Amino acid sequence: MIPPKPISRPDRVSLLRYLKLFRQDILSAQPERLYGAWMAEFRTPFFRSYLANDPGLVQTILRDRPRDFPKSDRIREGLRPLLGQSVFLTNGPVWDHQRRIIDPAFERGRLTQSLPAMWDAGQAMVARVLDQIGQGTEIEIEEIASHAAADVIFRTLFSIPIEDAIASAVFHEFRAYQRSQPILNLAAFVPLPRWFPRFHRPETKRAAKRIRTLIMQLVDQRREAIANGTAPDDLATRIMTTPDPETDQCFTAAEMVDQVTIFFLAGHETSASALGWALYCCAAAPDWQDRIAQEAAALTDPKEVKRLTISRDVFRETLRLYPPVPMMVRETTRPETFRKRAIPKAAQLVLSPWHLHRHTKLWNDPDAFDPSRWQSDDTRQSARDAYMPFSAGPRVCPGAGFAMAEGPLLLSLLLRAVEVAPVPGKTPQPVAHLTVRARDGIWLRAQPRRSPATDSNG
């Protein structure tokens, strides 16, 4: 099965045309040749950028010498109204301090403490969907995935369901923000001095302010509960009570708001994107959804998530084809030579999971949806060198393990209860906003599944 892929632009276009295409959608603004290139250069009157698809270069930039290639300031320009000084945007000592506090909360041993909350969110999702579809109807799956992922975040972070008034308000504000804010704004193209005012869409700024105000309410409530000794042992409490082992300082309330916004972005937006595309791929490949349903038929405990091997392979394959964050940007701190090409200081290095995951020289049949590849010896090298849906190296997403438990669990719970199929004439078209979403949503035909075991056996 070949799922939808954006149509690439012509190989050569004017700068103005490129900027317009980029503003509309970063994926279709790129030429087809990038899917087979090891490196590519793009020049503007303001700066140079280089796409690095060579696994050796990716290894150098992300794993071997990450301090020499910090996150680009250009990325911050578009996201700062919402994320402030969150761990996603910072570099150097500030980032070190933040990760020393955050990482312990996501250690593998503590992940099991979040599984019951994921399970409850998944069961609530199934109940909502069954109530919505009756005996069968068309549904927009991205909205359902977003709702479920947001529920997971609020249950695991603050021990409250999505129905909580503040949680519900944050969820709806985030939906508006996600649709209004591209990955990069024009400040990413023009190296403005720090004193020069940054311009963002008025609605983007207003939505960011509303989200941060709501999150501050949750943080203040939790600080009070911690002081009174009544706080639950969830992710928010663990992070807010963990001091930096080097400075003995905990996050301030304002710092915690910054971190919660990125937890929500990373844990809600990215998970919702991946779950939505996974459900579409399963709808278009019914044999795989039936196998997931059969595997999940006997699932009775959230701790059994580790045995969901089929669902996990489907989720991995979805993350390969539709990495939620399609591109990352690093910056050179000194002149470099990559593949015999001179790279100046302050150049932008673009690392693109979108292109790396579909690279014609690294993957067999790269545009095909084939979860079985993850059990093949032929895939091991590419999986190690050319697969980074959560980035790689020291800056790998601390919630990667969390996401790889949440995604397969939600996918399994829904597909053992509901059977989905594509809607003729409504093939979703991938576009990149904050994450890879469908231009007009993902519409599927859904009906209750009678018996996973029976259905899967025909």
Q: Is the pLDDT of residue 432 over 60?
A: yes
pLDDT band at 107 (very low <50, low <70, confident <90, very high): confident
- pTM reported for the whole predicted model: 0.90
pLDDT for the residue numbered 44? 65
What gap in Å lies between CA 142 and CA 274, rounded to an integer?
Answer: 10
Q: What is the mean pLDDT of residues 199-208?
A: 70
CA–CA distance from 200 to each of 44, 110, 192, 193 (Å)?
A: 22, 39, 14, 16
pLDDT for the residue numbered 115? 93
186 touches 15 (CB < 8 A): no
Which tens digits make up the pLDDT trace of 52-101?
Answer: 999 999 999 999 999 999 987 766 666 777 788 888 888 899 999 999 99
Residue closest to 149 by CA, chosen among 60, 273, 291: 273
Q: What is the mean pLDDT of residues 265-274?
A: 84
Average pLDDT, the chain: 87
CATH number of 15-456: 1.10.630.10
For tokens 């080097």, the residue is 246
Taking each helix axis from N to C terminus, what angle separates 73-83 and 253-264, rounded to the nearest 10 degrees?
110
pLDDT for the residue numbered 46? 63
What gap in Å lies between CA 100 and CA 87, rounded to an integer?
Answer: 11
pLDDT band at 444 (very low <50, low <70, confident <90, very high): very high
Which tens digits make up the pLDDT trace of 110-158?
Answer: 788 899 999 999 999 999 999 999 999 999 999 899 899 999 999 999 9
Which tens digits make up the pLDDT trace of 304-330?
Answer: 998 999 999 999 999 999 999 898 889
Domain ranges, ordered by start, for the chain: 15-456
Lowest pLDDT segment from 68-77, 340-349, 377-386, 427-436: 68-77
More confident residue, 453 or 258: 258
CA–CA distance from 427 to each of 1, 166, 260, 422, 444 (Å)?
A: 13, 34, 34, 8, 9
What gap in Å lies between CA 152 and CA 173, rounded to an integer?
Answer: 17
More confident residue, 262 or 277: 277
177 touches 303 (CB < 8 A): no
Lowest pLDDT segment from 19-33, 119-133, 336-350, 351-365: 19-33
Q: Is the pLDDT of residue 189 over 60?
A: no
Q: Is the pLDDT of residue 286 over 50?
A: yes
Q: Is the pLDDT of residue 192 over 80?
A: no
Which tens digits make up the pLDDT trace of 356-378?
Answer: 999 999 999 999 999 999 999 88
